[in-house]
Amino acid sequence: MYIRKFLNLIFVCICTFANVAALAKDYAASCDNRGFLQAQQNFENKSDYSKADVPVHICGTVLAISASRFTRSGKHGYFYLNIGSGVSIRIVSNLDEMHAPLWPWVKKGDYVEVAGRYYYDNPRRQGVDWTHKGTSRKWPYPGYVKVHGIKYD
């Protein structure tokens, strides 16, 4: 009986790891708004891997821009990107890490391409951050924001 429970536990762990590992991929080669929407749906449905951050590559039109703010990890700029299907998402750029002009370097109506880390805490607290080229043990994927063909990373 204990062996059966132990084997079931191992099976559950392997399945959970496989789901998380399936997300641990590099960015799509081109904009993948559909993949982002699927990841968002997975988070909202509280799927098995809903706590893992996801690398995303999205494109859309800038809806609004917020003033830069200082946080514990440096100065950040914020803008909201309309990716279609009635969905907009907050983009967070670490201005201390990026090679970019003074904020804001995007304006309302700009078409923007973003590669970064999609995080989801709850429906009201989600966004794409890690949009700079720096990496760490926690996040191995360099990101960027491309505006008018100029890549800021």
**How many domains is the chain built from?**
1
Q: Quick one: pLDDT at residue 7?
A: 38
Rounded to an integer, the average pLDDT of 34-45 is 88
| Domain membership of residue 91 as a residue range | 2-152
- Count Cβ neighbours within 10 Å for each residue of 90-127 and write b for 16 or more, e otherwise: bbbbbbebbebeebbbbeeebebbbbbbbbbeeeeeeb
Length of the chain: 153
Tens-digit pLDDT profile for residues 75-110: 999 999 999 988 999 999 999 988 889 999 999 999
CB 118 within 8 A of CB 56: yes
CA dihedral 29, 44, 90, 35 (to 10 degrees): 10
Window from 1-5, 33-37, 102-106, 133-137 with minimum mean pLDDT: 1-5
Please say if the pLDDT value at position 64 is more than 90.
yes
Is this structure's pTM higher than 0.75? yes
Residue 39 is part of a domain; what is its CATH number?
A: 2.40.50.140
Q: What are phi and psi of 59, to 5 degrees?
A: -140, 155
Q: What are phi and psi of 29, to 5 degrees?
A: -65, -30
| 3 state SS of 89 | strand
Q: Quick one: pLDDT at residue 105?
A: 95
Which residues 6+ apart lie within 8 Å of 12 measured at CB?
A: none
Regarding predicted confidence, which is higher, 21 or 51? 51
